[in-house]
């Protein structure tokens, strides 16, 4: 019987299904063999891989461990559970997990990978109050973010440029924002992370106008990611990504140095603490 074609970009559930199949085959296991490893039937596994049946959390945890997926399948599971995520983001999660290098630019908020738990919770709470997601969905999004933040301990290199506006916008109030800035100070001391600030004075000379992520994959290929309000977009066209890299490099050069950025963040935190 021909295998059912599952499009990983069509939904988070489909993304999980495709990644499960890829991970199983990479380990040289049949559905029957994987079933023995995780104590589930091959029929159940076939249905999940065909996106005919939703996986349970216990199943996702077991297959992630058995297939040495290092959290990839759990990330995709949580992205499916958090149905409020925009289309295109689940595919990005898979790429982010495997990336050996991450370049980020954010112009309005602290990047998710660098967020303090109180900062993230305050932002999600506001979305709940506006009625855009349920409390359960917000909690699941926070759980997903916590899984993503394990990237900081993966050995991958991260280069992050934050616009000054992201540091001035007091999400959660002054006390929470002060703790977020203190968290950034601690993160900037990590050897695998470079954090820079793009100050207001760059004005129209800031070379990127929208949030951008550029991932370096294990084969050294580069892929880009950006979002609209409706969906996220993975960009693999070499010419387009090369243009993004050039603009990102210019932004790095024009931003504050790593040392000056650390001092800037520290002073911004002290201003918040003085005004409490």
Q: Which of 201, 120, 204, 114 is nearest to 159 (CA)?
A: 114
* Strand partners for 194: 159
For residue 3, the model assigns a pLDDT of: 61
In contact, 219 and 101? CB cutoff 8 Å: no
pLDDT recorded at residue 77 = 84
DSSP line for 118-141: HHHHHHHHHHHHTTSS-HHHHHHH
| DSSP symbols for 155-206 | T-EEEEEEEHHHHHS-TT-HHHHHHHHHHHHHHTTSTTEEEEEE-GGGGGG-
pLDDT at 53: 87
| Residue 214 three-state SS | strand
Q: Report CA-CA distances (Å) from 5 to 19, 48, 50, 239.
A: 13, 13, 8, 30
Q: What is the pTM of this model?
A: 0.74
Average pLDDT by stretches of 10, the chain with 276 residues: 69 86 94 94 93 88 91 80 69 87 96 97 95 84 87 93 97 97 97 97 94 96 90 91 97 97 97 83
Q: What are residue 215's DSSP bridge partners?
A: 102, 223
pLDDT, position 84: 57
Give the pLDDT score at 89.
Answer: 81
Tens digit of each residue's pLDDT (9 = 90 or more) over 90-131: 778 888 988 999 999 999 999 999 999 999 999 999 999 999
**Main-chain dihedrals φ then ψ at residue 56, nearest 5 degrees:** -90, 165
Helix axes 42-49, 31-38, angle to 10 degrees: 110
The pLDDT assigned to 232 comes to: 86
Question: Closest by alpha carbon to 86, among 195, 204, 230?
Answer: 230
Rounded to whole angstroms, the Cα distance separating 234 from 99 reads: 14
User: pLDDT tens digits, residue range 132-168?
Assistant: 888 888 887 888 898 889 899 988 999 999 999 999 9
Query: 12-81 and 98-275: same fold?
Result: no
Check residue 154 and give its pLDDT: 86
CB 193 within 8 A of CB 151: no
**pLDDT score recorded for residue 163:** 98
What number of residues does the chain have?
A: 276
Joined together, the tokens standing for residue 262 give: 């650390």
List the structure tokens of 126. 């506001």
CATH superfamily for domain 12-81: lambda repressor-like DNA-binding domains (1.10.260.40)
Q: What is the structure's pLDDT at 1?
A: 45
The predicted structure's pLDDT at residue 33: 95
Domain boundaries, the chain: 12-81, 98-275
Domain 98-275 adopts which CATH fold?
Endonuclease; Chain A (3.30.870)
d(CA 35, CA 186): 43
């Amino acid at each position: 019987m021909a295998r059912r074609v599952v499009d990983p970009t069509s939904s988070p559930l489909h993304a999980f299904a495709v990644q499960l199949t890829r991970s199983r085959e990479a380990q040289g296991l049949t559905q029957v063999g994987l079933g023995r490893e995780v104590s589930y039937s091959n029929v159940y596994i076939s249905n999940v891989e065909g996106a005919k049946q939703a996986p349970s959390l216990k199943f996702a945890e077991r297959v992630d461990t058995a297939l040495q997926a290092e959290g990839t399948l759990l990330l995709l599971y949580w992205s499916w559970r958090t149905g409020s995520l925009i289309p295109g983001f689940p595919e990005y999660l898979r790429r982010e997990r495997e990336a050996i290098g991450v370049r980020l630019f954010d112009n309005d908020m602290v990047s998710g990978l660098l967020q303090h738990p109180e900062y993230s919770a305050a932002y999600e709470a506001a979305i709940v109050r506006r009625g855009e997601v349920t409390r359960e969905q917000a909690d699941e999004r926070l759980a997903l973010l916590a899984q993503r933040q394990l990237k900081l301990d993966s050995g991958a290199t991260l280069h992050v440029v934050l616009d000054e506006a992201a540091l001035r916008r007091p999400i959660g109030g002054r006390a929470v924002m002060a703790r977020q800035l203190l968290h950034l100070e601690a993160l900037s001391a990590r050897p695998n992370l470079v954090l820079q600030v793009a100050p207001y004075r760059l004005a129209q000379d800031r070379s990127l106008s929208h949030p951008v992520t550029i991932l370096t994959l294990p084969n050294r290929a580069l892929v880009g990611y950006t979002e609209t309000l409706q969906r996220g977009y993975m960009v693999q066209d070499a010419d387009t990504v090369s243009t993004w890299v050039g603009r990102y490099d210019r932004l790095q050069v024009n931003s504050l140095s790593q040392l000056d950025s650390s001092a800037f963040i520290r002073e911004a935190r002290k201003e918040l603490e003085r005004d409490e």
